[in-house]
Amino acid sequence: MLRRCSGYMSCIKNLGNPNPEKWVAAGCPLPAMMGLERRKGKDKPVITKALVKLDGAMFKCLEAVRRKWAYLDCY
């Protein structure tokens, strides 16, 4: 069966720039985000967890707009 998987996750760089013409489409190799964790006695590759800083500036920005985004379906 052909699954057409590449091992990359798509991403967009420069999203902080308000001009979409400055945004750059890119790919990030999944192994770069992965580490090994022991599960049920065996080492398994997993994407490393990244915790959100609830007192950080980026989360504060989300808090300011998330009700509006939810109402307008702007995800």
Tens-place pLDDT, residues 33-65: 888 899 999 999 888 888 899 999 999 999 999
66 in a domain, yes or no? Answer: yes
Residue type, 8: Y
pLDDT of residue 21: 95
Task: Give pLDDT, residue 32.
Answer: 82
Whether residue 23 is contained in a domain is answered as yes
Q: Assess if residue 3 is contained within a domain.
A: no
Task: Establish if 58 belongs to a structural domain.
Answer: yes
For residue 38, is it within any domain? yes
> What range defines the domain where residue 59 resides?
8-72
**Is the model more confident about 47 or about 24?**
24
Domain count, the chain: 1
Residue 2 within a domain: no
CB 27 within 8 A of CB 5: no
Long-range CB pairs of 2-9, under 8 A, 24+ apart, other chains included: 7/31, 9/33
